[in-house]
Copies of this chain bind each other. A is one copy, B any other.
């Protein structure tokens, strides 16, 4: 029994998750380039969305361009950019302590925020994916939150998959800070948050019902798409397997084995894509 349910129509806007959807590591997934080329040629808008805060939007745009999918930086949204955008509305000029890597710090500095390690001067503790996380950072975060700082995070992913297994992601930092302070994180801006959905839909500038969210994760990509009113398609090239999908309560509108199943069969024939 096949569970594959490709869409039979085109949409005006497409949101593509990156890792596990468009590429895996440094290699494009089958059909990705032709699919995006064809959709763009048909007049669709395409944006790319990642929860990863350890590289900048420009890094992702460069990578896509290098892989044969020319993409301007404005068409990439990641959780550090969403955080900077959210904070700029919520508390412009606030003092931050960031448990995160240099690209996130730079994004926030560029948005007019300054960093401090003095607990009583910190307005927000920002938890993120941080491969330099240590006890000193934990101590500053603890002291600041006990002194009244607010506690927010870029994303809540448990780990970032790698060829050898995975890297502990922002959920580890959130868990450490929640564990010692007893304070739950107040806002997580990354997928599946409606804050990210809003940032994406603002960029697409299209009616929500004309947009399709395409990703490999049910609990982030598909959940965010559903909750924001987009159509949703899961592609089984990343973390979601057919078995996981069958067990899931909330089903996406569409299920793809390969990204080029987004194209109606006439388009696939025209562009020479391999049939699934």
Task: Give A contacts to B, CB under 8 Å.
Answer: 130-135, 138-139, 142-143, 146, 158-159, 165-169, 171-182
How many monomers of this chain does the complex have?
2
Give 9 A-B contacts (CB < 8 Å), ordered by A residue.
A142-B159, A143-B165, A146-B166, A158-B179, A168-B176, A168-B179, A172-B179, A172-B180, A176-B179
* Residues of chain B lying within 8 A (CB to CB) of residue A173: 176, 179
Nearest-CB residue, chain B, relative to A133: B135
Nearest-neighbor residue (CB-CB) of A134 within chain B: B134
By DSSP majority rule, is chain A's interface helix, strand, loop, or mixed? helix
Of A135, A166, A180, the most chain B CB neighbours within 10 A belong to A180
Cα of A130 to Cα of B135 in the assembled complex, Å:
8
Given contacts A133-B134, A133-B135, A169 and B175 within 8 Å (CB-CB): no
* A143, closest chain B residue (CB): B165
New A-B contacts (14) at CB < 8 Å, excluding given A139-B167, A175-B179? A133-B134, A133-B138, A142-B165, A146-B166, A158-B182, A159-B180, A159-B181, A168-B176, A168-B180, A172-B176, A172-B179, A172-B180, A174-B175, A174-B179
Q: Closest CB of chain B to A215's CB: distance in Å?
A: 20
A220 to chain B, nearest CB (A): 14
Minimum CB–CB distance for A6 against chain B, Å: 31
Q: Contact at B165–A181, with CB atoms within 8 Å?
A: no
Q: Chain B residues near A176 (CB, 8 Å)?
A: 133, 168, 172-173, 175-176, 179
Given A135-B131, A135-B134, A159-B142, check contact A175 B165 (CB 8 Å): no
Contacts of A165 in B (CB 8 A): 142-143, 146
